[in-house]
């Protein structure tokens, strides 16, 4: 937030990878992060999830590129919230991230022998990506949504798998839910819906800008599980930033991003 205004004043447009321009409300930012040095710019900055705000991104001067967890969580919930199909009281967001999500800081908790051959939850109810998820969902629902969000650290380099648990507020068939997603994301270049009954593996998207989605509905129970997989360093970070840049500059949206996932 120190440098972005300098660019903007000179007529440049910015995609910011930090959290500084992800929130409309400076109070939320300041509660979870720190004092904001240019809150007036938040009015015009756009949350950079193309699947949600493509048209605003196109004209934005400042795009706040989403966090990695919010990218995976929001993409799995947006169609359901748009349709108002789910209860907003009981959404669970259980995320599993590779270690690169922690950045390259030299910290004890990121040492190989601390992380390898183990899995743990962390920052329960306290992760900074929580207000980002809740904020965007609430705006979309025009109603306050609180989710139960627990991130986990997994012994792998890259990837976030997000398992979303929802309760439908109406009787639905799996087919209906799948159709809602298909309809919603039909034109999205980086969203891939798995065939019915299949759910994605983070390995399927590694190195790519794809977000893969799988849907399983318990029709009798009125419940559903949505699973999304992204590469946190691409769709969850720099790849999404390039996608935003392409949108802002009128380039083909997939330019520089048509990379085949590296498997295995």
> Could you give the residue numbers annotated as active site?
68
Q: Which of 9, 43, 112, 142 binds a copy of itself (CB under 8 A)?
A: 112
Of the candidates 31, 41, 32, 30, the residue with the CA atom closest to the CA atom of residue 2: 41
Q: Contact at 8 Å (CB) between 96 and 158?
A: no
Query: Does residue number 165 form part of the binding site for a copy of itself (CB under 8 A)?
Result: yes
- Per CB under 8 A, which of residues 216..245 are in contact with a copy of itself? 216, 218, 221, 223, 225, 227
CA distance linking residue 93 with residue 90, whole number of Å:
10
Q: Judged by CB under 8 A, how many residues of this single chain contact a copy of itself?
A: 57
User: How far is CA 236 from its chain centroid?
Assistant: 7
Query: Does residue number 118 form part of the binding site for a copy of itself (CB under 8 A)?
Result: yes
CA distance linking residue 146 with residue 79, whole number of Å:
17
Q: Contact at 8 Å (CB) between 57 and 247?
A: yes
Q: Give the residue with the Cβ less far from a copy of itself, 202 or 209.
A: 202
User: How far is CA 42 from its chain centroid?
Assistant: 20
The secondary element (H helix, E strand) that includes residue 148 is strand 148-153
- Per CB under 8 A, which of residues 127..146 are in contact with a copy of itself? 146
Peptide bond preceding 264: is omega within 30 degrees of 0, i.e. cis? yes
CB of 254 to a copy of itself, least distance (A): 17
Query: Does residue number 255 form part of the binding site for a copy of itself (CB under 8 A)?
Result: no
Q: Give the residue with the Cβ less far from a copy of itself, 16 or 212.
A: 212
Q: Give the residue with the Cβ less far from a copy of itself, 26 or 222.
A: 222
Q: Give the residue with the Cβ less far from a copy of itself, 63 or 226.
A: 226
CB of 234 to a copy of itself, least distance (A): 10
């Amino acid at each position: 937030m120190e440098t972005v205004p300098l660019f903007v004043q000179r007529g440049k447009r910015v995609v910011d990878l930090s959290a500084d321009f992800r929130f409309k409300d400076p109070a939320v930012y300041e509660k979870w992060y720190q004092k904001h040095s240019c809150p007036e710019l938040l009015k015009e900055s756009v949350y950079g999830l193309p699947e949600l705000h493509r048209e605003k991104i196109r004209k934005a001067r400042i795009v706040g590129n989403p966090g990695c967890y919010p990218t995976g969580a929001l993409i799995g919930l947006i169609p359901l919230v748009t349709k108002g199909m789910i209860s907003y009281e009981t959404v669970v967001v259980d995320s599993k991230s590779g270690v690169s999500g922690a950045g390259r800081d030299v910290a004890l908790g990121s040492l190989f022998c601390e992380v390898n051959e183990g899995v743990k939850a962390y920052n329960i109810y306290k992760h900074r990506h929580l207000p980002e998820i809740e904020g965007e969902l609430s705006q979309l629902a025009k109603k306050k949504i609180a989710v139960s969000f627990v991130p986990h650290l997994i012994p792998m380099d890259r990837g976030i798998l997000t398992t979303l648990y929802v309760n439908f507020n109406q009787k639905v068939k799996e087919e209906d839910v799948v159709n809602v997603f298909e309809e919603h994301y039909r034109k999205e270049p980086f969203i891939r819906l798995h065939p019915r009954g299949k759910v994605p593996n983070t390995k399927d998207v590694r190195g790519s800008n794809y977000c893969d989605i799988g849907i399983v509905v318990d029709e009798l129970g009125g419940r559903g599980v949505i699973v999304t997989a992204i590469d946190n360093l691409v769709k969850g970070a720099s790849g999404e930033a390039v996608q935003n840049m392409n949108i802002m500059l009128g380039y083909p949206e997939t330019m520089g991003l048509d990379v085949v996932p590296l498997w295995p």
